[in-house]
Amino acid sequence: MSNDLADLRYPIGRYQINENNIDELQINTWISEIEQLPRRLKNEVSGLTDVQLDTPYRTDGWTLRQVIHHLPDSHMNAYIRFKLAFTEDSPTIRPYYEDRWADCEEAKYAPVQASFDLLDSLHTRWILFLKTMKQEDFNRAFHHPEHNKNFKLKEIVGMYAWHGNHHLAHITETKNRNNW
């Protein structure tokens, strides 16, 4: 992958974490980032036209509209995975084809307000849940069959904070490149 394509695909870099460096302060910082995502997303796309929303963030990439609709799709799965790991012993989660979800007609053409509303409600519940968890609960895990690996919730909370920032950067960078 060329550096230019890597920069467009991963404008804030790939998610990397050392499990040994995750403490309570770091987890709380990530929860705060997840909590702020719906507001930041709305602010970032406020005033964009349908033509701008239908602009891909890179060649052969999703449009900004698809990115916006992808966030609640992904975060719904995350919320469910957290609840499964919290209530079961290392459950095996079900992967999904996010690229196929983003290719569904509603993901390509639906008004973004629907995803703003969904993300707001979803994050309200998710944050309420995360804030009730004890620090030791973040050591609970789920098994991801695609990776054939168990992931601890303390790693995953960071990954979803990164995920929101990652897609916000796609939008910001696209706006900057196009001088919007």
Distance CA 13, CA 86 (A): 29
Q: What is the pLDDT along the chain (180 residues), one digit of tens a residue?
A: 445 766 789 999 999 988 788 999 999 999 999 999 999 999 999 999 999 999 999 999 999 999 999 999 999 999 999 999 999 999 999 999 999 999 999 999 999 999 999 999 999 999 999 999 999 999 999 999 999 999 999 999 999 999 999 999 999 999 999 999
CATH code of the domain occupying 3-177:
1.20.120.450
**What pLDDT, on the 0 to 100 scale, is given for residue 20?**
82
Note whether 129 and 78 are within 8 A (CB). no
**What pLDDT, on the 0 to 100 scale, is given for residue 18?**
81
Whole-number Cα distances in Å, 108 to 35, 118, 177: 25, 16, 22
- The DSSP letter of residue 139 is G
Amino acid at 64: L
DSSP per-residue string spanning 60-125: TS-BHHHHHHHHHHHHHHHHHHHHHHHHSSSPBPPP--HHHHHTSHHHHHS-HHHHHHHHHHHHHH
Ranges of each domain in the chain: 3-177
**What pLDDT, on the 0 to 100 scale, is given for residue 124?**
98
Q: How many CA atoms lie within 13 A of 34 on its CB side?
A: 30
Distance CA 130, CA 123 (A): 10
Q: What share of the chain is helix, strand, coil (3-state, %, to 5)?
A: 65, 5, 25
Whole-number Cα distances in Å, 104 to 45, 97, 123, 136: 21, 11, 23, 39
DSSP per-residue string spanning 49-63: -HHHHTSBSSTTS-B
